[in-house]
C-alpha cells in the first residue's frame, strides 16, 4: 500500500520532518503501508543535503520504502496510485484528492500568515469528507484512520460556474436588446400605403410571430373587464387578433362568449388557433381588417387591440374603424378599440424622440430577436406604428361613425335612427382606448 | 496666513471631489449601470489566474465562442498558471487560434514577504496594471476587457484598483466579478474584504461568509 505526502508549492518543514519520524512511520507500517512518497517542496529537512533540484531521495526505514522529491508539474499520478494522501491544507490539493475519492488526512500549516486554511479543512471535516490532524497528532490519527468512513464528495457542477456569468450576460446582451426594443425611430409614410404596410407590418409580424407570441401573454385589465361584462352567448370578433390572447377570455367562465379572431399574419394565426390552455381550437380567419370580411350587423361585439395603429394613412385607419362598426349589431353592439399613444408612461420606458404629437406620429419600433447560437447575429425588424395623439382616436371614431350615418352621442339625444355612445375613453399603459355601445331610437 | 489657507483648500477640495466621484461609481451603491456602450455579440473576457485551479475551473463552463478574445493575467513568476492557460486554450480554443493573450504583472506581495515592504511592491504592480488597463486601451482604443473575473490572490486587488481608476476617469472599464476562493469558509481574504464593495458582483462559495448580512451572494461550490 502507498501513502503519499504533499506540502504544495512552498514549504512545510514540520510536516516533512514529522513524516520522517519514527512514530509516523511505525503507524503507517502497522496499517500495512509499505511505500511512502513525499513531495517536500522547499521544505528545510534534515536530509536536505541529499536533495538537489529534481533529485529523488530513496531509503528504507522501519520497513517502509521511502521516496522523497521536491516537485512534479502534476501530482495526479501519485494521487491516483495512493491509498492514503496526507496533504497540506491547500484548497487545490484538497479538491483534487477528494474528487479522486482518495482518503485524505489534512495537516494545516499553522505558520502561515492567517489560518484560513484551517477553516476549509475543518469545514470539510465537519461534512465528513476528510480528517484534520495537527503535526503532533499525525501518528495517532494515522493509526485510528478509517478510510471507508467518509462521505462521497460532490462532483463538479458546471452550471454553478456558468451562473457566475449570468449577471454579465444579462447586462451585456439582454440590456442591449431591451434598450433597442424600447427605442422608437421617427419615420414618414411614402408610396402606396398598402405596400408600405406589407413591408413594415405584415412581413415583420410573420417573421417575428413565434417570438412575438412568447412575449405577449398578459391581457390588459380594461380589455379583460370589457370581455367579462359581455352577456352570455354573445358572439364577437377580435380584429387583428395576433396570437389570440383575448380569444379565451373571460378566463373564469370559458365558453360564455365566443370571440373569433381575424388577422393578416398566418403565422400568428397558427398560434392563435390554440390560444389559452391549448385544448380548445379557436376560430380564426385570415384576412385584412380593411376588407369586407363580415356581413353587416352580424356580431354582438368587437374588439380591436393594437391593430389600427399599424395602418399607414388616416383614411385607412378610419376605414378600419368603419369595418368594425359595420360588422356589429347596430342595436346592441359593443366595441372596444386600443391604439398606441404618443404619451408613454414611465412603466414602458420606451424612449420617444421629440415628436409632433398634435396629429400623432409615424414611427418605427424595432423588434429584436436575440440570437440563439453564438455565430448568429441578432435580427432587428422595424415595425411601423402610428402613435395616436390625445383625442385623435375619439375624433377618428366619431368621423368614421358619422360617415356611415351613425349619430355619436347618448341615446337620449337621438335624432338619427342608430347611433353610438362613447361609454369610456382614456389612456392606459401608453395606449388610448375608446369603448362604445350602439343604440337605436326605434323601440 | 491667508495664502496658506488658500493653498490648503485645493488639496482638500480635490480629495473631496475624488471621494464624491468614488461614491457615484461604487457598484454597491449604483443600481443602474450605464454599460454597455458598444453592441457586439462577443465579449472580451479577462481572468486573473491565482495559484490554484479555481479561476480556470470557472472558465470551464464559459462559452469560448462568446467570450473571445480572452486575457489571462498572471503574477510574475507563475509559470504554472501560464502553462495551464496555454493548455486550456490548446484544448478548448481550437476553433479560433490564438484568441488569447497572457499578461504578466508583478506580485503585489510575495508569499512570506514582510508587510512593511508590501506598499512598494504593490505600487510597482499597480503601475503595470494601470499600463494595461488604463493607458494602453486609451492609446490603442482597444479596451482591456468587457468582464474581469478575479478570485482572490492579492495582486488581483491591484488589478481591480486600475479598473476603479478607469471608472473614476469615466473610461471604459470591465465589469468585475469577484469570486471568493473555495478555501474561504469563515473569513474573507484581504482581497475579498477590499473588493466587497468595489466589485460589480461579489460571489462567495460558503454561506457562512455572508452571515454578517452585508453585500455578496453565495452560489455554492464553484470548483
Put simply, the answer to whether A374 touches B149 (Cβ < 8 Å) is no
DSSP-derived 3-state class of residue A191: coil
Q: Over 80: is that where the pLDDT of A320 sits?
A: yes
Round to whole Å and give the CA distance between A266 and A209: 9
Nearest residue of B to residue A121 by CA position? B183
Q: Which is more confidently placed, A57 or B109?
A: B109
Cβ distance of A159 and B61 shorter than 8 Å: yes
pLDDT in tens, A154-178: 887 777 776 777 666 655 555 555 5
CB-nearest partner of B181 from A73, A91, A96: A91
Domain A193-345+383-440: state its class: alpha beta
At A212 the pLDDT is: 67
Q: Which chain B residues are Cβ-neighbours of A158 within 8 angstroms? A: 60-61
Q: What is the pLDDT of residue B97?
A: 67
Please name the residue of chain A whose CA is at the shortest distance from the CA of residue B203: A164
pLDDT at B80: 82
According to the model, what pLDDT value does residue A182 have? 58
* Class level of CATH domain A2-149: alpha beta
What's chain A's average pLDDT? 82
| Mean per-residue pLDDT over chain B, rounded | 82
pLDDT category at A130 given cuts 50, 70, 90 is very high
Give pairs for B159-163: CB < 8 Å, separation 24+.
B159/B48, B159/B73, B159/B105, B159/B129, B159/B133, B160/B195, B160/B198, B160/B199, B161/B126, B161/B129, B162/B126, B162/B129, B162/B130, B162/B132, B162/B133, B162/B134, B163/B133
Is A193-345+383-440 in the same CATH topology as A2-149?
yes
Residues of A in contact with B66 (CB under 8 A): 374
In chain B, which residues have their Cβ closer than 8 Å to the Cβ of A11? Answer: none
Share of chain A above pLDDT 90, in %: 28
Residue B39 contacts A, CB cutoff 8 Å: yes
Parse chain A into domains and list their residue ranges.
2-149, 193-345+383-440
Say yes or no to pLDDT of A234 above 80: yes
**Pseudo-torsion of CA A348, A354, A360, A365, nearest 10°?**
-50
Q: Which residues of B touch A96 (CB under 8 A)?
A: 53
Amino acid B72: pLDDT: 92
- Find residues 114-143 of chain B whose CB sits inside 8 Å of chain A: none
Q: What is the pLDDT of residues A357-383, one digit of tens each?
A: 567 788 888 776 665 555 556 667 788
* Interchain CB distance below 8 Å, B221 and A160: yes
What is the per-residue burial (b if ≥16 Cβ within 10 Å, else e) of A231-253? eeebebbbbbbbbbbbbbbbeee
- Interface residue of A87, A91, A97, A180 to substitute, partner B, most B CBs within 10 Å: A91
Structural contact between residues A302 and A332, judged by C-beta atoms closer than 8 angstroms? no
Tell me if A374 and B35 make a contact (CB, 8 A cut-off).
no
- The pLDDT tens digits of the residues spanning A405-439 come to 888 888 888 788 889 999 998 888 778 999 999 99
Report pLDDT digits (tens) over A240-264. 998 888 998 888 888 889 999 999 8
Percent helix, strand and coil across chain B, each rounded to 5? 40, 15, 40
CA–CA distance, A23 with A6 (Å, rounded to integer): 19
What average pLDDT does this structure show over A57-74? Answer: 80
| pTM for the model | 0.56
Predicted local confidence at residue A347, as pLDDT:
43
B36 touches A: beta carbon within 8 Å: yes
Per-residue pLDDT at A308? 92
3-state secondary structure of B208: helix
For chain B, which residues score pLDDT lower than 50?
32, 34-38
pLDDT at B213: 82
Of A29, A27, A23, A16, which Cα lies nearest the Cα of A144? Answer: A27
Distance from CA of B42 to the nearest CA of A (A): 8
**pLDDT of A318 higher than 90:** yes
Q: Which of the two residues, A181 and A202, has the higher pLDDT score?
A: A202
- Is the minimum CB–CB distance between B35 and chain A shorter than 8 Å? yes
Residue of A nearest to B32 (CA): A171
Amino acid at each position: 500500500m502507498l501513502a503519499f505526502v504533499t506540502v504544495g508549492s512552498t514549504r512545510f518543514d514540520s510536516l516533512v520532518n514529522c513524516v520522517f519520524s519514527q512514530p509516523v512511520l511505525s503507524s503507517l507500517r502497522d496499517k500495512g503501508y509499505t511505500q511512502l512518497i513525499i513531495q517536500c517542496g522547499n521544505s528545510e529537512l534534515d536530509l536536505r543535503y541529499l536533495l538537489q533540484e529534481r533529485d529523488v531521495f530513496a531509503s528504507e526505514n522501519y520497513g517502509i520504502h521511502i521516496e522523497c522529491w521536491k516537485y512534479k508539474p502534476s501530482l495526479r499520478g501519485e494521487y491516483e496510485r495512493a491509498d492514503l494522501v496526507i496533504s497540506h491544507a491547500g484548497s487545490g490539493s484538497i479538491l483534487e484528492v477528494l474528487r479522486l475519492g482518495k482518503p485524505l488526512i489534512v495537516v494545516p500549516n499553522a505558520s502561515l500568515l492567517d489560518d484560513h486554511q484551517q477553516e476549509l479543512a475543518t469545514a470539510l471535516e465537519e461534512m465528513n469528507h476528510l480528517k484534520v490532524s495537527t503535526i503532533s497528532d499525525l501518528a495517532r490519527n494515522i493509526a485510528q484512520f478509517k478510510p471507508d468512513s467518509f462521505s462521497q464528495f460532490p462532483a463538479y457542477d458546471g452550471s454553478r460556474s456558468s451562473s457566475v456569468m449570468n449577471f454579465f450576460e444579462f447586462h451585456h446582451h439582454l440590456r442591449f436588446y431591451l434598450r433597442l426594443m424600447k427605442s422608437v425611430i421617427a419615420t414618414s409614410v411614402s408610396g402606396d400605403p398598402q405596400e408600405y404596410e406589407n413591408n413594415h407590418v405584415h412581413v415583420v409580424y410573420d417573421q417575428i410571430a413565434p417570438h412575438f407570441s412568447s412575449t405577449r401573454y398578459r391581457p390588459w385589465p380594461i380589455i379583460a373587464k370589457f370581455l367579462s361584462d359581455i352577456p352570455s352567448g354573445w358572439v364577437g370578433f377580435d380584429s387583428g387578433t395576433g396570437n389570440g390572447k383575448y380569444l379565451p377570455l373571460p378566463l373564469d367562465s370559458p365558453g360564455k362568449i365566443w370571440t373569433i379572431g381575424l388577422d393578416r399574419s398566418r403565422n400568428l394565426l397558427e398560434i392563435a388557433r390554440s390560444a389559452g390552455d391549448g385544448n380548445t381550437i379557436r376560430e380564426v380567419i385570415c384576412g385584412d381588417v380593411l376588407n369586407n370580411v363580415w356581413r353587416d350587423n352580424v356580431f354582438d361585439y368587437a374588439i380591436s387591440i393594437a391593430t389600427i395603429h399599424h395602418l399607414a394613412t388616416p383614411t385607412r385607419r378610419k376605414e378600419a374603424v368603419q369595418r368594425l362598426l359595420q360588422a356589429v349589431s347596430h342595436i346592441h353592439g359593443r366595441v372596444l378599440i386600443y391604439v398606441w399613444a404618443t404619451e408613454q408612461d414611465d412603466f414602458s420606458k420606451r424612449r420617444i424622440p421629440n415628436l409632433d404629437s398634435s396629429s400623432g406620429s409615424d414611427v418605427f419600433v424595432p423588434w429584436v430577436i436575440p440570437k440563439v447560437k453564438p455565430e448568429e447575429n441578432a435580427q432587428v425588424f422595424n415595425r411601423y406604428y402610428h402613435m395616436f395623439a390625445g383625442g385623435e382616436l375619439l375624433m377618428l371614431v366619431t368621423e368614421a361613425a358619422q360617415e356611415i350615418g351613425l349619430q355619436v352621442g347618448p341615446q337620449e339625444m337621438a335624432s338619427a335612427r342608430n347611433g353610438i355612445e362613447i361609454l369610456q375613453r382614456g389612456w392606459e399603459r401608453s395606449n388610448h382606448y375608446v369603448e362604445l355601445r350602439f343604440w337605436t331610437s326605434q323601440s | 496666513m491667508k495664502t496658506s489657507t488658500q493653498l490648503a483648500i485645493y488639496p482638500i477640495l480635490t480629495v473631496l471631489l475624488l471621494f464624491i466621484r468614488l461614491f457615484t461609481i461604487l457598484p454597491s451603491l449604483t443600481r443602474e449601470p450605464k454599460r454597455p456602450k458598444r453592441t457586439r455579440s462577443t465579449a472580451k473576457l479577462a481572468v486573473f489566474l491565482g495559484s490554484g485551479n479555481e479561476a480556470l475551473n470557472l472558465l470551464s463552463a464559459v462559452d469560448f465562442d462568446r467570450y473571445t478574445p480572452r486575457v489571462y493575467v498572471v503574477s510574475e513568476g507563475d509559470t504554472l498558471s501560464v502553462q495551464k492557460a496555454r493548455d486550456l486554450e490548446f484544448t478548448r480554443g481550437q476553433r479560433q487560434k490564438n484568441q488569447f493573450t497572457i499578461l504578466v504583472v508583478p506580485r503585489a506581495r510575495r508569499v512570506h514577504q514582510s508587510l512593511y515592504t508590501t506598499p512598494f511592491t504593490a505600487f510597482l504592480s499597480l503601475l503595470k496594471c494601470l499600463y494595461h488597463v488604463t493607458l494602453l486601451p486609451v492609446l490603442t482604443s482597444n479596451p482591456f476587457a468587457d468582464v474581469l473575473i478575479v478570485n482572490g490572490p492579492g495582486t488581483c486587488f491591484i488589478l481591480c484598483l486600475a479598473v476603479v481608476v478607469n471608472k473614476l476617469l469615466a473610461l471604459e472599464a470591465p465589469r468585475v466579478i469577484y469570486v471568493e476562493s473555495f478555501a474561504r469558509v469563515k473569513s474573507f481574504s484581504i482581497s475579498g474584504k477590499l473588493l466587497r464593495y468595489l466589485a460589480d458582483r461579489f460571489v462567495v462559495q460558503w454561506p457562512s461568509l455572508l452571515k454578517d448580512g452585508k453585500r455578496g451572494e453565495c452560489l455554492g461550490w464553484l470548483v
